[in-house]
Amino acid sequence: MSKLGKPISQRQLRVGEMIKQSISMIFLREEAKISDLDTKSITVTEVRMSPDLKTAKVFVIPLGGKDTDKILDKLKEFSFVIRKVLSKKIMVKFMPKLFFVNDDSFDYAEKIENLIRQTQK
């Protein structure tokens, strides 16, 4: 469910998964030429599409969680390059605008796990 109470449509999920896989392959093969950034060390964990499919929030996490802010700034700066390469990979009516966000869900899960361990002791 989205925060507004409307459920996420199957189309949003499908397009989001397709974009996630495509961006992951672009990063893995280093097809987007981004200066001073090793895209092989970036993991795309999730892509959330807007209801109109014109914007995509791309959740990424760098390998080891190091230099997250620097990497996010580079990805935001060169999002047009990634979008251009992505447009050659997938066929959609409107190529969504890409917004890169740090995925802190793993940190949150680890925090919850530590709290559970503390209560069990």
Q: In the chain, what are the domains?
A: 10-120 (3.30.300.20)
Kind and range of the H or E element at 56?
Answer: strand 55-62
Taking the C-alpha atoms of residue 67 and residue 80, their distance in angstroms, rounded to an integer, is 21
Residue partners of 64: CB distance under 8 A and separation at least 6: 41
Q: Are 83 and 98 in contact (CB under 8 A)?
A: yes
Q: What is the mean pLDDT of residues 62-85?
A: 88
**Model confidence at 41, in pLDDT bands (50, 70, 90)?**
confident
Residue 1 has pLDDT above 60, yes or no: no
Q: What is the mean pLDDT of residues 51-61?
A: 94
pTM score of the predicted model: 0.83
Instruction: Please give the pLDDT value at position 108.
Output: 77
Q: Are 67 and 42 in contact (CB under 8 A)?
A: no
Instruction: Please give the pLDDT value at position 4.
Output: 61
Q: What is the mean pLDDT of residues 22-45?
A: 89
**Model confidence at 111, in pLDDT bands (50, 70, 90)?**
confident
Average pLDDT, the chain: 88
pLDDT over 90, % of the chain: 54
Q: Are 73 and 100 in contact (CB under 8 A)?
A: no
